[in-house]
Amino acid sequence: MNRKSSFAPVVDQRCRILILGSLPGEASLRATQYYAHPQNRFWELVGSAIGIELRSLAYEIRIDTLRDHKIGLWDVIADAKREGSLDSAIREPRNNDLQSLGSSLPDLQAIAFNGKKAAMTGRKQLEPAGRRYRLIDLPSSSPAYAAMPIAEKLSHWAVIGSIAGNPETAQK
């Protein structure tokens, strides 16, 4: 079983909210793009939160749009062994240095975890460091998490818009 690695963080000094996933799935790794699986709802959820239809845009424009809205992306796991894409299949994980990244972002107000695995892993690293920023658990955007209807996911993800500076979309 080969080790699979996360991508570099997508951030700049304007970042107010950092969204952390667990580890890219197979489709994302093949495409070398965050949330590349066509059934993953990430781009729909974050797009709704900021009031922009992201899925139809080219990947580079999506990333630039997130940066323009003060949103960053990364993963809690740097690399791990895993067959397939499920978080439950992650073995021997090594974590990314979330504290160092958070410390390097002067405007960071919140870190949001995309799914339970990201929250469980990320909170272990960040909670002992104190409360410089708010920690938010979001329902997973993964197609594997179908227990929650999309309308309910959208209501949880709306917080992204208010933190990023888009309060008009946070009430949708």
Which residues are annotated as catalytic? 40
C-alpha distance from residue 157 to each of 35, 75, 110, 139, 140 (Å): 16, 17, 13, 8, 10
The answer to whether the beta carbons of residues 49 and 70 sit under 8 Å apart is: no
Using the Cα atoms of residue 56, residue 37, residue 91 and residue 82 in order, give the sign of their dihedral. Answer: negative
At position 167, the amino acid (one-letter code) is: P
Contact 67, 12 (CB under 8 A): yes
Task: State the Cα–Cα distance between residues 167 and 29, nearest whole angstrom.
Answer: 33
